[in-house]
Amino acid sequence: MDTLIKTTQKVDILEESDIPPFFDVLKANIIRSHMELTVIFLKATVSNSQKNSMIEDLEEQIAHFLVSEVRNTDMLFRLEGSLRWGILLTQNGEEEGNAFLNRIFQLVKSKDSPFKIDLAFTLQGIIAEVKNDQVMFEDLIGKQFDVFSQLTEPWEIEKVTSFKTQPMERVKVSILEENVIFGEVLELTVQKMVVDHFQLETKVFSDGHEFLQSDWYLSGHTHIVIMNDILPRKNGLNVLHTLRQMANQKKFIIYMMTNRKSQGDMIYAYESGVDEYLIKPFDLNLFQAQLKRTFARL
């Protein structure tokens, strides 16, 4: 920011009533695309002795300042009532929101800051990270009123955690293994896992043909497929090619089990779309650790 902010011209930013449709679209991607979304609320306070005209000038000057500091991907909007603003931080979590507010506060308080306003004021901020697609924009608005009413110190930042509770996400796990006993062992290993925020549904298939003839793999849920490369009727590579040709193929996370150890075989498997390559015999604890790492990335 290179110039002093002295203008009182009304800055063109969104209003609170404009935000709900944008918020609904963004929160839908929280589950589908695992996108981060954080809402920041800002409140400025001045002494009661200030005239309304001076407060109106201050409101526009702060709005100009905020416009110069937010990114093009963020949404700045006025809240109902004077000297209050909100910012939708897309693709950012609580930590980034906290860093943003601290930077804003330091700029305002710094003696060397190019942001200069004659009227003295202080700021308070609220950070609300949203991790649940059931949250309504009205819930956030109501919460910020409650929290601001409880803040007593200038330059105070409060983190709201009540919107961070994540819903359970359904994940399908298919095991394609001809050996009945080993298939059951793998299924039990998966079922014993405790993975926060995920509900696992497992099913074992004796070969690729049985799997592809079912409608089990046609839903839109995240789907982990653990399969042998050699199977009766349709083998693992046939299944792999079928899944990777589907329009929604990114929902599949594919583990290939094999006795083949050559570098050429591994390269071919990865180039064909395998996500994890398991050389038999493999340790079940290691296998479980790989699965947990997969869930951590979802």
State the angle between helix axes of 137-150 and 19-32 in degrees (0 to 180), rounded to the nearest 10.
Answer: 100
Which helix or strand (DSSP H or E) is residue 123 part of?
A: strand 122-130
Buried/exposed 234-258: b ≥16 CB within 10 Å, e otherwise: bbbbbbbeebeeeeeeebbbbbbbb
For residue 224, the tally of other CB atoms under 10 A from its CB is 23
Q: How far apart are CA 278 and CA 227, in angstroms?
A: 10
Q: Which pair of structure tokens corresponds to residue 3? A: 């110039």
Q: How far apart are CA 192 and CA 189, in angstroms?
A: 5
For residue 89, the tally of other CB atoms under 10 A from its CB is 22
Q: How far apart are CA 202 and CA 204, in angstroms?
A: 7
Residue 205 sits at φ, ψ, to 5 deg, of -120, 145
What pLDDT does residue 49 have?
Answer: 65
Alpha helices in the chain (DSSP H): 19-32, 52-69, 94-109, 137-150, 180-191, 208-213, 236-244, 263-272, 284-297
In DSSP terms, 40 is beta-bridged to 87, 127
In DSSP terms, 173 is beta-bridged to 202, 224
Tracing tokens 């679209």 back to the chain, one arrives at 25
How do the pLDDT tens digits run along the chain, 298 residues long? Answer: 444 445 556 777 999 999 999 999 998 888 767 788 999 999 999 877 666 778 888 888 899 899 999 998 999 999 998 899 999 998 899 999 999 999 999 998 887 766 666 678 899 999 999 988 889 999 999 999 999 999 999 999 999 999 988 777 889 999 999 999 999 999 999 999 988 888 899 999 999 999 999 989 988 889 999 999 999 888 899 999 999 999 889 999 999 999 888 899 889 999 999 999 999 999 999 999 999 999 888 7
Q: How far apart are CA 20 and CA 80, in angstroms?
A: 14
Q: Provide the sign of the torsion angle of the four alpha carbons 146, 150, 156, 160, taken in this order.
A: negative
Q: How far apart are CA 78 and CA 83, in angstroms?
A: 8
Q: Which pair of structure tokens corresponds to residue 195? A: 């993975």
What pLDDT does residue 244 have?
Answer: 94
What pLDDT does residue 270 have?
Answer: 93
237: Cβ–Cβ under 8 A, 6 or more apart, which residues? 229, 269, 272
Q: Are 169 and 176 in contact (CB under 8 A)?
A: no
Tracing tokens 């009766």 back to the chain, one arrives at 232
Q: How far apart are CA 99 and CA 114, in angstroms?
A: 20
pTM above 0.85, yes or no: no
What pLDDT does residue 116 have?
Answer: 67
